[in-house]
């Protein structure tokens, strides 16, 4: 059983932060769960929130107000960390957009970064750990995220429709193989094998999506400093629009005047929770 680090009440439910030894990543990892009040009497569906560069599991819980709407809708929020920590790999903390705090939700293939296996951690190991929590209905789950975590939500959601009933993202890195953040991460973690990059690029993945119908909500601020150089939501939207079937239903909202920060995220968080709650309730 994971070790409980702290417990804080919010909106009638509980934020609980845990630690556990990850076999996949080879280090101790933290994650936070928000249990809505409904979890006291029944198993509740879950939404995974994947955070962005430099963040931990605590950012969304302390800055976004995510708990209010989650409590209202009766859904749990699961917030994992963004990378392995404490391994002291040479170069892991040299830059803020690679290494510690920058796992990019992939499985690294380069030997130096062999512990950077956040894809398998999120999709396999963490759910197996969470099975121990009787309050959570892990068979009814959704995924969302911000920036690097928005990239993670899109790629994990598109590749694993059997795991996630709906997808949403704030300011996601939509076409990482074509932007500096993604190129730096992919070349470092995956090497120069460009075909391997495609399996972690949402714009490439949506072109060939063949799973069940999926509703995707994306919000991006028009005043986001990273919009033109790093995010490329238009590339994802164009790829989704030319998808051969009608199984991808994308709502891309460009929010006038908003930036990349948690002020932006908190403003539209209720919409995203409602988006997922609708899909999760339909599936229950």
Q: Which residue numbers are catalytic? A: 147, 224, 260
- The single residue listed with the structure tokens 């892991």 is 92
- Phi-psi region at 241: left, alpha or beta (left = phi > 0; alpha = psi -120 to 50): alpha
**Tokens matching residue 154:** 């899109």
Do the Cβ atoms of 58 and 17 come closer than 8 Å? yes
CA dihedral 38, 69, 16, 28 (to 10 degrees): 120
Strand order in the sheet with 3-10: 3-10, 13-22, 27-35, 76-80, 44-50, 136-146, 167-170, 214-221, 248-255
3-state secondary structure of 213: coil
Rounded to the nearest 10 degrees, the angle between the axes of helix 262-283 and helix 66-73 is 20
What span, in angstroms and rounded, lies between the C-alpha atoms of 234 and 95? 28
Q: For residue 162, what is the DSSP state?
A: T
Cα gap 263→63, rounded to integer Å: 8
């Amino acid at each position: 059983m994971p070790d409980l680090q702290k417990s804080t009440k919010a909106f009638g439910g509980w934020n609980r932060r845990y630690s556990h030894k990850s076999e996949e990543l080879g280090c101790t990892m933290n994650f936070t769960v928000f249990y809505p009040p409904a979890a006291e009497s029944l198993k509740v569906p879950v939404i995974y929130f994947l955070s962005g560069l430099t963040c931990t599991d605590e950012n969304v819980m302390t800055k976004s107000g995510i708990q209010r709407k989650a409590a209202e809708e009766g859904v749990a929020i699961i917030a994992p960390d963004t990378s392995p920590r404490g391994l002291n790999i040479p170069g892991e903390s040299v830059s803020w957009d690679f290494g510690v705090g920058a796992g990019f939700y992939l499985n690294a293939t380069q030997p130096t970064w062999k512990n950077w296996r956040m894809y398998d951690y999120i999709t396999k190991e963490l759910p197996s750990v969470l099975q121990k929590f009787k309050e959570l209905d892990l068979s009814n789950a959704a995924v969302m995220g911000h920036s690097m975590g928005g990239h993670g939500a899109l790629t994990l959601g598109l590749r694993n429709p059997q795991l996630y009933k709906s997808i949403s993202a704030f300011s996601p890195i939509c076409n990482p193989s074509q932007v500096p953040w993604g190129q730096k991460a992919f070349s470092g973690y995956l090497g120069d094998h460009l075909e391997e990059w495609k399996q972690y690029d949402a714009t490439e993945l949506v072109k060939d999506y063949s799973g069940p119908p999926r509703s995707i909500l994306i919000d991006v601020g028009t005043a986001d400093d990273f919009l033109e150089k790093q995010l490329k939501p238009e590339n994802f939207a164009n790829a989704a629009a030319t998808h051969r079937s009608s199984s991808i239903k994308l709502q891309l909202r460009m929010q006038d005047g908003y930036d990349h920060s948690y002020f932006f995220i908190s403003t539209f968080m209720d919409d995203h929770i409602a988006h997922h709650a609708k899909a999760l309730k339909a599936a229950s």
